[in-house]
Structure 1
Amino acid sequence: MSDRASTVLLRFGPMIYGPTVLFALGEGAVIPLIPVIAAQMGAHVATAALVASALVVGQLWGNIPAGWTVARLGERLTMAIAGTLSIIGVLGMVLAPALGVFTASVFLIGFCAAAFGLARHSFMTTRVPLAFRARALSLLGGTFRLGMFVGPFIAAGLLAVFGSELAAIWFFGGCLAATVLLVLLGPDPERLIGAEPEAAGDEPIMAEDTGEAVTGSIPTAALRRAEGGRDGVFKTMWRYRRVLSRLGLAAASLSAVRSARQVVLPLWGVSIGLDAQTIALVVGVSGAIDFALFYASGQVMDRFGRLWAALPAMILMGAGFLALAFTHDLASAELWFGVFAAVLGVGNGLSSGILLTLGADVAPKADPAPFLGSWRTLTDAGGAVSPLLVSAITAIASLSIAVGAVGVLGFVGALAFVRWVPRFVPRDVPR
């Protein structure tokens, strides 16, 4: 990484990466305990799963309003508001007198997580030079992975010390308070890092004049006036419907395959008769491989192009799922489970930051936030639908067929990336 890249990324630490780690640490500590707390409040297994899904549903619903908020209030204020409202959600979880209030609080936290995430994405889109955009966004994804990886261990330690799940929720509240203070009292990123000159002079990256989004640039006042002011969220969705319905759906397929991994691995371990400790160890090793490779994805995208990270990741995960589907009844099923869990970890690690980077690449240069709200809604929807599809196919046929279907989806997504990345991101080779 060049000196300039190192300098800029270090300057992002206290204002972008620091708050991300804090938010993800708290969220990662609470997420595994949501169904447990719901069950303690009287929910059945299916209801507890529904309560846990409120976090994802809230995130889905929050992306579009988050795009509107970031476009009008700015990234820093949006992050502060989202963090403050999340504290209210934490208090609701702690003090909830009934399951409905607890569920609404979980929904609110998911809603605010969408705004927090989109604000960071929009900020990086408009202020990171194209030459090392992928590394910056992969590092952003890596900080989130770090929090989600370490958070459950912190929750386990708090449970051992205090003997109550509420301790993890209070920990989340403390992380949120620190996040808000860091955002409000830390250096103002919009003043320290202004318009990126080389981005402002970029020519459109479309291979043809299709009216699609182009590489993100700085939403300066002059540029907005020249383009007729801001577009609303829904107008932006309609204007860039082609890129969203093509490259956006390809990105959604990647999100779906990623999400399936989190569901399939534990289920597969149970189905072949492994105990909980062994399953946790295999899933943990897969997660560790995933986390170790997050920065490699950014290096590949910046040096060789976006497709060279997206395509190997999708092929690896697709092949891993498809091959795993044929090992269920083998005598060495446990060995193959460990092998393909590692393969999926490699594929997922190599895909770190791809969705953020592609979204930034194709965001409209004048005002990226509304477009990114739509982009993130598509990718989050892919991640939310995937576990439901695995569950439905398993109920109708078998787990092996469901896993094989996810593998096929991985290959279909790889073909979609081959088809649409060169069209919408033709400057895929670094300058």
Structure 2
Amino acid sequence: MLVRFAPMIYGPTLLFAVGEGAVIPLIPVIANRLGADVAVAALVAAALVVGQLCGNIPAGWAVARFGERVTMGVAGIVVLGGLTGIVLAQSLVFFAAAVFLIGFCAASFALARHSFMTTRVPLAFRARALSLLGGTFRLGMFVGPFISAALLGLFGDETASIVFFAVCQVATILLVFLGPDPEKAVPVGAPPRRGDGDSREAEDTGEAVTGAIPTVERAGVFRTMWRFRGVLARLGLAAASLSAVRSARQVVLPLWGVSLGLDAGTIAVVVGVSGAIDFALFYASGQVMDRFGRLWAALPAMVLMGSGFLALSFTHELGSAAMWYAMFAAVLGVGNGLSSGILLTLGADIAPPDEPAAFLGSWRTLTDAGGAIAPLIVSALTAVASLSIGVGAMGVIAVLGAAGFIRWVPRYVPRAR
């Protein structure tokens, strides 16, 4: 059943990711044309991530209340408004607001499919299905810039890439509203039995449990956050550290190459090879998680990326610094590839089976916050001390995150997972 509806399950996510990937590289360019310097252009580009961070909780509420199909369809329509704003923007403030709006709606696509997989994919291959979902995002971000470059070469104007994103969104809206609805066609799986790792079982509030077993009650987003504060503050923070390390990799590799005095072509090749290794391993991560357990993917990923950052931080002044840079970029690519889908899978494992969307909104807010803060940490430590100190700090965060996974994954996720 899931295979038959794969285009409807993965199609909207892939279309959105390809269109977004085509536009993301152009955001700083357009911002610069509107009068922004390098620092302000970077801030405008960050509006996309901030928008997604702010959109997770509203998206969780919308999916829980209106369903995945309506949420994705409406979000697609709003994205068209954001793209129109980008084309018509004559000021930085208006342009940044349009970018923020697109990021805000991106949360709806990500969370809707995450919620769908949580309730409908059998536990036996949940990690592989979610790793494939994560792979669609990576594929879109990998292919989108190349499509954008081709369109720029053909038309010589950024508007062509924005129109391409708009066409992807129109196709997404039509697919969502006119195609078969997988929410109705694919049955909801049975909720976990008591003791099977439901996060409600693991939550330790210190209160004695008495009386009859309560019936299922629809809880709001903020009530859900409070109800599951224990798992969010523990395993959620470990997951945020993984998101931070992933995000730091995207910032550190280009900066390190620049600090070594390498030319743009060499840096692009090193970053591209690291990204290719990362993309090649996304499905292997799901296989490992389904066969051996979640910790077998999370722990090696954190150890590899942590040791890669720590070792890289000591190589800047070496005579063979460029060689070490290329080698540790590959190590970081392997580590990031092995972590593909782990945040989606852990969120699905510990989400309440009766109403996962509200919980997943909180979970994704935490992980996205980790990804948003990491570049700020690297930037601040580089300004105060040096880039090596900033890179080493991300290695320390990875080590602490690995310790968090060792401590909390066995507690909240059973061995069967």
CA distance in 1, matches of 2:151, 2:119: 39
Verify the 8 A CA contact 1:24 1:147 in the aligned structure 2: yes
Q: Cα deviations across residues 135-184 of structure 1 (Å, max 9, x unaligned)?
A: 00000000110000011111111110111111111111111111111111
Q: Which residue of 1 aligns with 2:14?
A: 21
Amino acid at match of 1:120: R
Verify the 8 A CA contact 2:224 2:359 in the aligned structure 1: yes
Q: 2:293 aligned with 1:341, yes or no? A: no
TM-score by length of 2: 0.95
Amino acid at match of 1:318: G
SS at match of 2:180: coil
Q: Cα deviations across residues 319-361 of structure 1 (Å, max 9, x unaligned)?
A: 1111111111111111111100000000000000000000000
CA separation of 1:210 and 1:202: change in aligned 2, threshold 3 A: closer
CA drift of 1:11 comes to 2.8
Q: Which residue of 2 aligns with 1:219?
A: none
CA drift of 1:114 comes to 0.6
CA drift of 1:200 comes to 3.2
Q: Cα deviations across residues 392-415 of structure 1 (Å, max 9, x unaligned)?
A: 000000001111110111111000
SS at match of 1:11: coil
CA distance in 2, matches of 1:205, 1:250: 21
Q: Which residue of 1 aligns with 2:105?
A: 112
Q: Which residue of 2 aligns with 1:237?
A: 225
Q: 2:268 aligned with 1:280, yes or no? A: yes
Q: What are the within-5 Å matches in structure 2 for residues 18-417 of structure 1?
A: 18-196=11-189, 199-200=190-191, 202-206=193-197, 212=203, 227-417=215-405
Amino acid at match of 2:40: T
Q: 2:415 aligned with 1:428, yes or no? A: yes
CA distance in 1, matches of 2:123, 2:264: 45
Q: Cα deviations across residues 94-139 of structure 1 (Å, max 9, x unaligned)?
A: 1113221111110000000011111111011000011100000000
Verify the 8 A CA contact 1:264 1:403 in the aligned structure 2: yes
Amino acid at match of 1:212: E
Q: Which residue of 2 aligns with 1:222?
A: none
Q: Which residue of 2 aligns with 1:4?
A: none
Verify the 8 A CA contact 1:307 1:428 in the aligned structure 2: no
SS at match of 2:195: coil
CA distance in 2, matches of 1:252, 1:172: 29
CA distance in 2, matches of 1:31, 1:200: 39
CA drift of 1:192 comes to 1.2
CA separation of 1:340 and 1:187: change in aligned 2, threshold 3 A: same
CA distance in 2, matches of 1:308, 1:324: 24
Ranges in structure 2 where 5+ consecutive residues have no aligned partner: 205-212
CA distance in 1, matches of 2:122, 2:375: 36
CA distance in 1, matches of 2:298, 2:152: 39
Verify the 8 A CA contact 1:303 1:429 in the aligned structure 2: no
CA drift of 1:209 comes to 7.5
CA separation of 1:142 and 1:280: change in aligned 2, threshold 3 A: same
CA distance in 2, matches of 1:67, 1:401: 37
Amino acid at match of 1:312: P
Verify the 8 A CA contact 1:14 1:182 in the aligned structure 2: no
Q: Cα deviations across residues 191-217 of structure 1 (Å, max 9, x unaligned)?
A: 210122xx336333249985639xxxx
Verify the 8 A CA contact 2:192 2:353 in the aligned structure 1: no
Amino acid at match of 2:66: L
Amino acid at match of 1:391: S
CA distance in 1, matches of 2:342, 2:193: 21
CA separation of 1:272 and 1:65: change in aligned 2, threshold 3 A: same
CA distance in 2, matches of 1:204, 1:122: 22
Number of residues of Structure 1 aligned to a counterpart in Structure 2: 409
CA distance in 2, matches of 1:272, 1:428: 45
TM-score by length of 1: 0.92
CA drift of 1:48 comes to 0.9
CA distance in 2, matches of 1:208, 1:63: 20
CA drift of 1:226 comes to 6.4
Verify the 8 A CA contact 2:310 2:392 in the aligned structure 1: yes
Q: Which residue of 1 aligns with 2:207?
A: none
CA distance in 2, matches of 1:208, 1:384: 26
Verify the 8 A CA contact 1:211 1:240 in the aligned structure 2: no
CA distance in 2, matches of 1:393, 1:201: 44
Amino acid at match of 2:196: I
SS at match of 1:168: helix
Q: Cα deviations across residues 262-290 of structure 1 (Å, max 9, x unaligned)?
A: 00000000001100010001000000000
Amino acid at match of 2:416: V
CA drift of 1:302 comes to 0.3
Q: Which residue of 1 aligns with 2:208?
A: none
Identity %: 72
